[in-house]
Structure 1
């Protein structure tokens, strides 16, 4: 996408503003102003895996005891696999009485529910194995994955560079059509749109306890998402 502005002025002096900078346009300063948008893509190299569990029980103590057991088993499984402690971030934990209107569970003698969740940061290539380890350790409410880039700024810079090259190509075509020579770049600005929401792998919900699943099942086939960043460049070139 691009917009083109052509200034070839042989009258009185004029000025125009481009964001915070003012460019003088007069009979000695002919310019072409172009706005272009371009995009760059890269495969995610970091993942934040959403891990969590929910357990139910007939009373507060037994429900909390089961939650403590699952909580520590999940974290131990992650650490034993090499996940760094600073990469395991607690998000939420609670123990509450169930609603009296939950007739199905109430009729089964269930009175309390406990839940806990974490965000686990790992290299993208380890996301599937991390999810597998957590689920097989008892994390029965897991699965969301935020795909990210370690160096997001580099991708934004690549998009801006592509947009600027595109702008110059358009300017060269315009100059050729006008039978003039394109001069150097005299001004450029970059506006990077706010980042889109990270790509996610849907959360899994499996409230049945998984036993011996680590040995019986293979990790899910999960591939890192492709991350896109775009940049809009406003460029002004002189004409000779």
Structure 2
């Protein structure tokens, strides 16, 4: 396409193919399927999200690799696919959570923030000059209305609530494994062990605390809800946190 000044430029626009498919979204899903396996499990008293964290060289400082990210004290996410795309979505999700805080004096419910992320991803599927995000996300959170919630968001902007799900390279086998082991009464501790066993099924090499990253949602007790705020800040106590390498090592040793 020629510009007004005689120069040439081109842009990429996602359009429907004659068969009714959005080819760029299929390409984005292919990028997700090449990413490392990530999974989430909703327990009776919390949620666990976990992923493989491998570096391509022993020379890389893997302490700088972050695949499980804290969005706000009650929400965390994990991804499979393209790391740079994930970084942008994390930044925008954090800004959205802080904007919600300023207006409502509380952090957003999990579904509200998931919808915001899904909208950002959906807008990229029909905007000129951009491509769909090459990531799928698992969003774990807790709020007073819905309790613990686990959502999956795909490059199309579609999102679903799950009891357990997997994304990435080994997602088919991981989902089959989860279907056999999941039950509605599973505890958070058992969910962590199940997550590790699921990742181990398709793991290449030796699984250590350096090659696994885990985040957990804990449901606050009645006493915690009564206290409510972190002293001196006015903010709620966090329900999401990432496990330390020492904690992951202890779970692997069990």
Q: Do these two structures clear the TM 0.5 threshold for a shared fold by scoring above it? A: no
* TM-score bracket for this pair, using the shorter chain length: under 0.3
Task: Give the TM-score, by structure 2 length.
Answer: 0.20
Task: Give the TM-score, by structure 1 length.
Answer: 0.21
Larger radius of gyration: 1
Q: Which has the higher strand share?
A: 1
